[in-house]
């Protein structure tokens, strides 16, 4: 912006430089100090301190209306994201924000420079506590299940559907959880197929009983019956695998119909 042909931005940078170097006349320093957003630092520093107090007040407020009065939620989000982005750019250049700003942000309740990563870590910690306390695995968690006030079912589904947004370390954290699977249905099919294969090896046939034996054997029998009905006439990888296993023990799975060449 220019006034009377002079650049305000250039003039402000010049005055800030003189003030930091101790070369600004006292009377001018006093006049500049009357400007609410004035800072002897850079424009970024001036913006930081002009909004920091409001952001801190919002973070410390206990009531929703108090938070909005201190700083509207959208404004707070934009300010925080801009600050995080600026620090990320500086770190990429081998620099950082001024120490006083870093220290000031440490005083903000709940502040995080990387909220998505920190939130992920906290949720994984809750899942580890869930596994330890209940003796269950992640694979047993239902879609809308909650535990100790945490929507763990929603977390698990979100992690699976948003896998492409996770870092390698975040994926590793999840895969270390007992019973974790990125594709539980696919993994369940593979597990049941392995059980049926093992049953054949142990018994010399793959005809587990629907009514006798253990519940595990009954479940395996139901799975085999359902898969034979579902996969008959198909030619995908699962159908071919089951067809090959059945043929090994003298059973058949109808082949897919061949199209006529006419």
pTM above 0.85, yes or no: no
pLDDT at 13: 60
Contacts of 182 (CB under 8 A, 6+ apart): 160, 163
pLDDT at 192: 85
Q: Is the distance from CB of 143 to CB of 94 less than 8 angstroms?
A: no
Block mean pLDDT (10 aa), the chain, length 262:
57 59 64 59 63 88 90 88 86 87 87 80 92 90 89 90 85 90 78 89 93 86 91 88 93 78 54
pLDDT at 27: 73
CA angle 233, 238, 244 (to 5 degrees): 80
Q: Count CA atoms closer than 13 A to 186's CA, side-chain side.
A: 6
Torsion angles phi and psi, residue 147, rounded to 5: -145, 125
Q: In terms of residues, how long is the chain?
A: 262
Q: Is the distance from CB of 13 to CB of 21 less than 8 angstroms?
A: no
Q: Is the distance from CB of 220 to CB of 195 less than 8 angstroms?
A: yes
Residue 232's SS3 state is coil
Tokens of 127: 């899942």
DSSP 8-state class, residue 259: P
pLDDT at 225: 92
pLDDT at 39: 52
**Residue 150, beta-bridge partner list:** 147
CA 239, chain centre distance (Å):
35
Residue 36's SS3 state is coil
pLDDT at 35: 63
Number of neighbouring beta carbons within 10 Å of residue 163? 13
Residue that the structure tokens 């959208």 belong to = 74
Closest CA to 185 of 147, 217, 223, 149: 223
pLDDT at 198: 92
pLDDT at 179: 85
Q: Please tell me the distance from the alpha carbon of residue 32 to that of residue 35, in angstroms, as a whole number.
A: 6
């Amino acid at each position: 912006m220019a006034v009377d042909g002079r650049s305000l931005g250039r003039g402000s940078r010049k005055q800030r430089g003189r003030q930091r170097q101790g070369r600004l006349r006292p009377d001018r320093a006093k006049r500049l100090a009357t400007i609410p957003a004035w800072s002897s630092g850079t424009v970024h520093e001036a913006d930081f301190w002009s909004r920091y107090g409001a952001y801190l007040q919002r973070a410390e407020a206990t009531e929703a209306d108090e938070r909005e009065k201190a700083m509207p939620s959208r404004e707070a989000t934009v300010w925080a994201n801009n600050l995080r982005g600026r620090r990320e750019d500086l770190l990429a250049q081998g620099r950082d924000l001024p120490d006083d700003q870093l220290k000031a942000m440490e005083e903000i309740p709940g502040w995080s420079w990387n909220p998505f990563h920190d939130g992920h870590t906290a949720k994984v910690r809750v899942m580890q506590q869930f596994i330890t306390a209940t003796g269950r695995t992640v694979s047993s968690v239902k879609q809308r299940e909650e535990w100790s006030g945490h929507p763990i079912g929603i977390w698990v589904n979100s992690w699976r559907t948003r896998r492409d947004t996770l870092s390698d370390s975040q994926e590793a954290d999840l895969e270390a959880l007992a019973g974790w699977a990125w594709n539980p249905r696919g993994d369940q099919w593979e597990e049941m197929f392995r059980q049926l294969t093992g049953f054949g090896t142990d018994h010399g046939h793959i005809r587990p009983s629907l009514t006798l034996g253990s519940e595990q054997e009954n479940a395996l029998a139901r799975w085999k019956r359902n898969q034979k009905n579902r996969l008959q006439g198909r030619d995908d990888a699962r159908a071919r695998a089951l067809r090959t296993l059945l043929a090994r023990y003298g059973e058949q799975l109808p082949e897919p119909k061949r199209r006529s060449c006419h």
